[in-house]
Structure 1
Amino acid sequence: MDKPTVTTSEVRDLLTHFEGQEITLDKVRSELQIERGTKSFDAVRNIFLRLVEARVIRYISRGNYKVIMPVSPVSVFGQDREHRPPFELIFPRDFETGMEMDFANNVTIREGDLITIGGVKSKGKTTLMMNFCGENVDKLPILMGNEYTIIGEDGWEPQPRWFNRMEIMGQWIDWTDENGQDKFTLMPVHDDYAEHIVKHRLNLIDWININGERLYDIGKILEGIKRAEGRGVTIVALQKGDGADNPRGGQFVRDFSDLELLLDGFGSNEDDILLTIKGAKEKNAPIVGNRYSYTIRDNGTKIVNFRQVKQCNTCYGKGYTKTGKCDTCFGAKWTDK
C-alpha cells in the first residue's frame, strides 16, 4: 500500500530544525524518506512554493531555499524595563601620574559595545590591550587571539614574550586571586572568535588575522562577536597599514565599532605612539578626531607621558619646512596641545 502523500504540516515541522539555514528539496525528501516516483516527491515542490508565499522559506536558486528565522516584535515602552547603566570599563592609565586616559570621561561604553584598536605593526596594540586587561582584571576578562598562546611540547601555553610582560606587570597588578588562580581566562583561540566569546563578560581579542583577499570577512566576524557578547563588552585589536586611515577591513570594521582607536608612530622614537579617536558612537564632548601621544616603556608594559597633541602650526603636519626638519616639532608633525 502506498504511503500517504506528505503534508504541508509535516514539511513545516521538519523546517523548524533548519531555521536560519539553507536547505534543498533533495534534503527534505531525504529527511522524510520520500522516494522518486511517488506522489510525495512532486508534492514537496508544490509545498515549497506555498511556503515561499507564506514567507516561511526564501527562494535562493533552483532547488535551494533558506528557512526564515521567525522574529517577534520587541516591546519598548509597553512593559517595565530595567534601565541599564553604562559598562564600567576602566581605560589604561599613565603609569607615572596614575591618571586614566583623559578622554575616557567623555566616552560612554554600553553593554554590548565593541571597541576596535587598529594599529600599525609593533606600535603598541598589545600594550594597550594588556593595560585594558590589567585595569579591569577584577571583571574576570577573557583573553584570546594571536598574541597570547603558542603550542608547546605539552599542548597550549602562554606565548613567552607575552608571559614576560605579564610577569613585569605583576609588580603592580594582582593577576591572581587569593588561591593563586588567574583572575582572567586565557583561551587558545585563533579563529572562529564568536563561538568562544563568553557572554556578559569583558572579552579581549589580540589580534584578528584577516586574509588580504577577503577583508570584507571582518564585517561578519565582528557582527558575530557583537551578537555573542550579550551584556558584555569586547575589545578587538586589528592590524593597520602605516599611514592608513582605517584598520584592514576599512568600512566593514567601522560599521560595527562603537569606539574606534587608531595607533601610529609618533616621530622618530619607535616607542612613541600617536593615538587617534577615529569614531565614538556615544560621547559627551567633541572628541572624535582628537589625537594623543604617549611613550611605551619597560618591554611594552607601561604607558607614560600621556597628553593631547595637535598638528604642528609651523610645518602644517609635514615634519619639514623649506629649510629642513621642522624646528618646532622636530619632525614629529605634532606638538603638545
Structure 2
Amino acid sequence: MENKIGISQDVIDGFITEASNEIQKEKLTKSLKGVAALTTERTYDYISVQDDGYYFYEEDASHEKKAFFVPIDRSLSSIESTPVKSSVSENVYKLQNIATPFAQVDLPDGIGGRQYIVKRGSYISTSATIAAPSQVSRDSGENAYTYTGFMAGANSADMGLMYDSNVGIGSAEQGWKPTIQINGITTNSSLISPYNQVQASNAYMAGSQVTFYAWYNYEKKIRMKVDGTAICADLGCGRSADTPLTTIVTSNTAYDIQPSSFQKWKVLAVVTGDDIGKNKSVFSNIKVDGVAVPSSAFPTPDEDGATVTRDANNNVTITVTGK
C-alpha cells in the first residue's frame, strides 16, 4: 500500500472494504452468469475518483492485493497548461458539447465520430472492438480514445479507453487504458508522476474486444466498468501474460442524477489534438438496461474527419481518418 495523500487509516480501511466488497459482488455476478473466463485467473481493479486524488485497489491474477492513494495535480487541469500527449485533454469534452453535427463545424481541437443513443434506462452496455496499432496514428500532439458516456442536464461523463503506445515490459507494447472524465474534469491524466497512468504498465490488448458498462446513477454515483483482456496480470506487469481484466471506476461524489434530467447516451471514437490521425471502433450488442436498442433510438451521427456507419443489427462503426 502507498498513501501519497496522507489520508487517515479509517478512510483507507473504508475504501479497501468498499473495493473488496464490490469486487466480491463482481465475482459472484460472473459466477452466476457462468462466465467462461472464470476458469482463468482474472485481475480486478477498483478505482474511486476523489476530490483529493485517486484511490486505487487491485486484486491481481496471482491473488496479490495492492492499494494506492495518490494526488491529482489540479494545476494540469486546463488545456493551455497541459501537454496534450500526457493528458486526457478537455478537448474531448469540448468536442462532445458541440451543439451542431461535426460535419457542420470546424473542430480545431480534435476529430472523430459520435453516435448518440436516445433511450432512457439506468445503464448502457456495449461490446467494442478497439483499434489495433495499425488502425491508430498520432504524434506528440494527439491522443486516441474510444468510449461511451451520457448527457444528463448539467452533467456529462465520458468513460472508456485511451490508446498508449508505451505499455508492457520495457514499455515496448501498445494497448488501451481506462480513462474517465466527469463534467469536463479529467482524472488519470492529471495524476502526479509516476502515477499518471492508472494501471501503470498494464493495458487492454490493442485490437481486442472489450465490454463497456456505464451508469449515471449507481447508488447515486457515476460508474464505469470495462471487461476485457489485458496484456499483463497486474498493474506493474510483473507477469506478462494475456489476462482477463475487470476495471471498475466510480465517482466519490454522489451526483444522484435523476432519470428526469437524463438526455442521451453516446459512443465515440476520437483523436484529439490536430485535424490528423486515425482511430477505429466497432460498437456492437448495444443495450440499455440489458435490452437491445431499437433503430429508432439512433439519430443521425456526428462526423468530423470520420465516418460513422450503422448496419441492420445496429452495430456502429466509427472510422477516424483525418481531414
What TM-score do the two structures reach when normalised by structure 2?
0.26
Q: Which has the higher contact order (CA 8 A, sep 6+)?
A: 2
What TM-score do the two structures reach when normalised by structure 1?
0.25
If each structure's helix is expressed as a fraction of its own residues, which one has the higher value?
1
Q: Radius of gyration: which is bigger?
A: 1
